[in-house]
C-alpha cells in the first residue's frame, strides 16, 4: 500500500508577491538589492516547483543565520584561483544563492570558449535547490551540473552515525520541443527538509527513510532530527536504503563523491566536519560545471536526439496499474505552470511564520491568492 500523508492546510500566494516579499526581507537584513533578488528568486523557485522542503520553510534558518552572524549578509565572494576552464571562489560566509549563481554564470561564460568549465565555491551557506543552478545553463544550450555538501545527516551502509550530508546532485540538459531533462536529487533517501515537513504535519516517516541510534529503522521524525543534530547516533539512509540488497552502497558512494568535489577539491570542510547550528545552517561548499553542447556536436542534432529519448521514455510500456511514465523534471515543470495560474501553495504554518518574520523586520505581509 502506498504511504500517504494527511492533506495539509495551505494558503496560495502569487509567485511575484512571494519573491517581492523575500527580496524586501533580505534587503532589510543587509543584503544588497541585487543579492537579495537572487536569494529570493532561488528560495521561491523551490515552492514554485513543488519542493516545499527548500522554499519559504527555510526562511527562519536564513534569517537566524544572518541575525546571529553565522551568515555574513554583505560578504563579497573572492576568486582565489582561476584558469580558462576553472574557478575557485571563497564566499567568505555569505549567502549561498548569490555566490552560487555568480559562479555558475562565470563558468557558463568560460565554457563558451573552453567547451567546458567547473567551479568550486567554499565557505558558503545553504544555496537552496541545486536544480536552480544547473538550469542556468539551459538558456545557453549547455548542460549544467550543480552539487553541494551539507551538514552530516546520512549514515554509511552498515553504519549508525552520521558521516556525510544529503549532498544533492542536479543535472540539466536542454531539449528541443520537449522540456529539458532536469534531475535534482539528494544522495540520501530523502532530504532533511522532507523529515521536517513530516514533523510539521505530525506524520510518521515511511519505513526505510532513517535509522535510530542502534541502526534500526525509525519513523519518529522529531526524534531522528534531534538525534542527528546532537550526533547521538542514527540518521538518514543513503539512496537505495538499508544494507546492500537495494543498492544503498551506491547512494553512499555518490554522497562521498559530492563531498570530494565540494569539500576536498574545494579545500573546505566535509563529512562529519560539517554541522548545522541550533537555529541555522552551517557553512558548506559547492561544485558547479557547464558543458557547451556546441563544443561536442551540432546543437540542433543534440536537441532532436534529446526529444527522441525523452518521448521514447514516456511512451514506453506502462507497468500494470500505472497511469503514466515521467522523466526527471517533468513533474516540477507541470507544478510550476499550475502554480503560475493558481498561486504557489504554502503550508499555513509556513505562511504565518513568514508573516511574523516580516513583521519583526518591518516588511509588509503576503497577500493571499486563494486558500488551498
Where residue 255 sits, what CATH number does that domain have? 3.30.1370.60
Q: Is residue 48 part of a domain?
A: no
The span from the CA of 123 to the CA of 191, in Å, is 21
In this structure, is residue 46 part of a structural domain? no
Per-residue confidence in pLDDT tens, the chain, 372 aa:
445 445 578 999 999 999 999 999 999 999 999 999 999 999 999 999 999 989 999 999 999 999 999 999 999 999 999 999 999 999 999 999 999 999 999 999 999 999 999 999 999 999 999 999 999 999 999 999 999 999 999 999 999 999 999 999 999 999 999 999 999 999 999 988 889 889 988 999 998 999 998 888 899 999 999 998 889 999 999 999 988 999 999 999 999 999 999 999 999 999 999 998 888 888 999 999 999 999 999 999 999 999 999 999 999 999 999 999 999 999 999 999 999 999 999 999 999 999 999 999 999 888 887 554
Contact 187, 169 (CB under 8 A): yes
- β-pair partners for 347: 10
Closest CA to 98 of 66, 68, 73, 63: 73
Pairing of strands 370-371, 181-185: unpaired
Indicate the helix (H) or strand (E) that contains 289. Answer: strand 284-292
Report the run of H or E that residue 118 belongs to, with start and end: strand 116-124
Cα distances (angstroms) measured from residue 313 to each of 53, 119, 142, 309, 355: 28, 32, 22, 6, 43
Grid cell, residue 277, equals: 547550528
Is the residue at 7 inside a domain? Answer: no
How many domains does the chain fold into?
A: 1
Is position 162 within any domain? Answer: yes
32 inside domain:
no
Residue 124 lies in a domain: yes
Quote the pTM value: 0.94
In a domain, 347, yes or no: no
Query: Residue 277 sits in which domain range?
Result: 75-316+321-335
Is 357 within a domain? no
Amino acid at each position: 500500500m502506498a504511504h500517504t500523508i494527511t492533506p495539509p492546510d495551505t494558503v496560495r500566494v502569487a509567485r511575484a508577491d512571494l519573491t517581492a516579499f523575500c527580496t524586501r526581507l533580505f534587503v532589510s537584513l543587509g543584503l544588497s538589492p541585487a543579492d537579495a533578488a537572487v536569494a529570493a528568486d532561488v528560495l521561491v523557485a523551490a515552492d514554485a516547483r513543488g519542493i516545499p522542503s527548500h522554499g519559504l520553510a527555510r526562511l527562519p534558518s536564513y534569517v537566524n543565520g544572518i541575525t546571529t552572524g553565522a551568515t555574513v549578509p554583505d560578504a563579497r565572494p573572492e576568486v582565489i584561483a582561476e584558469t580558462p576552464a576553472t574557478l575557485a571562489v571563497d564566499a567568505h560566509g555569505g549567502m549561498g544563492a548569490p555566490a552560487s549563481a555568480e559562479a555558475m554564470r562565470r563558468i557558463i561564460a568560460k565554457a563558451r570558449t573552453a567547451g567546458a568549465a567547473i567551479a568550486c565555491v567554499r565557505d558558503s551557506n545553504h544555496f537552496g535547490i541545486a536544480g536552480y543552478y544547473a538550469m542556468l545553463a539551459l538558456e545557453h544550450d549547455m548542460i549544467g551540473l550543480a552539487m553541494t555538501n551539507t551538514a552530516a545527516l546520512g549514515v554509511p551502509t552498515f553504519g549508525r552515525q552520521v558521516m556525510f550530508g544529503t549532498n544533492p546532485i542536479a543535472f540539466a540538459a536542454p531539449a528541443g520541443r520537449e522540456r529539458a531533462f532536469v534531475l535534482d536529487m539528494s544522495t540520501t533517501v530523502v532530504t532533511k527538509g522532507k523529515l521536517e515537513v513530516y514533523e510539521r504535519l505530525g506524520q510518521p516517516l515511511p519505513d526505510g527513510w532513517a535509522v535510530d541510534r542502534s541502526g534500526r529503522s525509525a519513523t519518529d521524525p522529531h526524534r531522528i532530527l534531534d538525534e542527528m543534530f546532537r550526533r547521538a547516533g542514527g540518521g538518514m539512509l543513503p539512496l537505495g536504503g538499508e544494507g546492500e540488497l537495494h543498492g544503498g552502497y551506491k547512494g553512499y558512494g555518490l554522497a562521498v563523491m559530492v563531498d570530494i568535489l565540494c569539500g576536498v577539491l574545494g579545500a573546505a570542510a566535509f563529512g562529519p566536519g560539517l554541522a548545522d547550528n541550533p537555529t541555522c545552517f552551517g557553512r558548506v561548499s559547492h561544485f558547479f560545471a557547464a558543458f557547451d553542447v556546441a563544443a561536442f556536436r551540432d546543437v540542433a542534432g543534440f536537441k532532436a536526439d534529446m526529444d527522441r529519448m525523452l518521448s521514447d521514455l514516456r511512451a514506453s510500456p506502462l507497468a500494470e496499474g500505472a497511469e503514466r511514465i515521467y522523466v526527471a523534471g517533468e513533474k516540477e515543470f507541470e507544478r510550476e505552470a499550475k502554480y503560475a495560474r493558481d498561486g504557489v501553495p504554502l503550508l499555513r504554518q509556513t505562511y504565518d511564520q513568514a508573516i511574523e518574520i516580516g513583521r519583526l523586520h518591518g516588511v509588509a505581509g503576503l497577500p493571499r491568492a486563494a486558500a488551498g
